[in-house]
Amino acid sequence: MEKFVNYNSVLIPIDRSNVDTDALIPKQFLKSVEKSGFGDNLFDEWRYLDQGEPGQDCSGRPLNNDFVLNKKAYRGGRILLARENFGCGSSREHAVWALRDFGIRTVIAGSYADIFFNNCFKNGVLPISLPGADIDALFAQDAESGPCSMDIDLERQTATAESGQVYRFEIDDFKKQCLLEGLDDIALTLQHEGDIATYEQRRMKEVPWLFEDLAS
């Protein structure tokens, strides 16, 4: 996984709560057996005026110019701003792959659905939760004075607006280290092989039927 590096970017506001993973990446793109190539189809149904198909060249598709990703002022933006329960619904990690492939490395929202939240950390994407009042303020700032940028500093756990306003965010230490160092958590877990084997030995005695093969 790529290391998370501090950066500055324009905030892309999506003023909705309950943005679901079906919206982030519609089902037809889930047929891919690859782990990348989803960026052109991020928010496909909101972003284009036609129905997208996998493998299609998106450069000639009619754009929904009212949708924020298509507005010039937000082009190149790498931070997404949204409201409550972002990433709800399907567990599809393709939703995070689409964000990452598009270039979004940080989402700022009121709250997240649990599966989406976990999937972010597996792909170098930082999901920041801020209180509702802060989210309101960021949306208001964008509505009143146009696109605004922020500095994301993961080490210091801050998102700093152009105005100088500093938003501090919480993050679990383990997850923070994984993002900063781009760690492969399978390798980390395998370091505990001894603990896993001990657990299995004990458990096999207690509930032996759970260790029977699922034969075909």
Question: Which residue shows structure tokens 């492939």?
Answer: 101
Instruction: Identify which of residues 9 and 138 has a Cβ nearer to other proteins in the complex.
Output: 138
Q: How far is CA 147 from the centre of its chain?
A: 21
Instruction: Identify which of residues 9 and 129 has a Cβ nearer to other proteins in the complex.
Output: 129
Task: Give the Cβ contact number of residue 38 at 10 Å.
Answer: 24
Whole-number minimum distance, CB 61 to other proteins, in Å?
13
Pairing between strand 166-168 and 158-161? Answer: antiparallel
CA distance 83 to 21: 14
Whole-number minimum distance, CB 153 to other proteins, in Å?
21
Whole-number minimum distance, CB 182 to other proteins, in Å?
13
Interacting residues with other proteins (CB under 8 A): 15-18, 20, 22-23, 26-28, 30-35, 45, 51, 54-55, 83-85, 88-93, 96, 111-115, 118-119, 122-123, 172-174, 184-186, 188-190, 192, 195-196, 199-200, 203, 207-210, 212-216
Whole-number minimum distance, CB 151 to other proteins, in Å?
27
- Collect all residues with Cβ–Cβ distance below 8 Å to 7 and sequence separation of at least 6: 78, 105, 151, 152
CA distance 36 to 47: 19
- What values do phi and psi take at 107, rounded to 5? -115, 135
Instruction: Identify which of residues 70 and 91 has a Cβ nearer to other proteins in the complex.
Output: 91
CA distance 196 to 211: 14
Q: What DSSP character marks residue 21?
A: H
Instruction: Identify which of residues 15 and 181 has a Cβ nearer to other proteins in the complex.
Output: 15
Whole-number minimum distance, CB 186 to other proteins, in Å?
5
Q: How far is CA 5 from the centre of its chain?
A: 15
Instruction: Identify which of residues 72 and 214 has a Cβ nearer to other proteins in the complex.
Output: 214
User: Residue 127's beta-bridge partner residues?
Assistant: 107
Whole-number minimum distance, CB 3 to other proteins, in Å?
16
Instruction: Identify which of residues 55 and 131 has a Cβ nearer to other proteins in the complex.
Output: 55
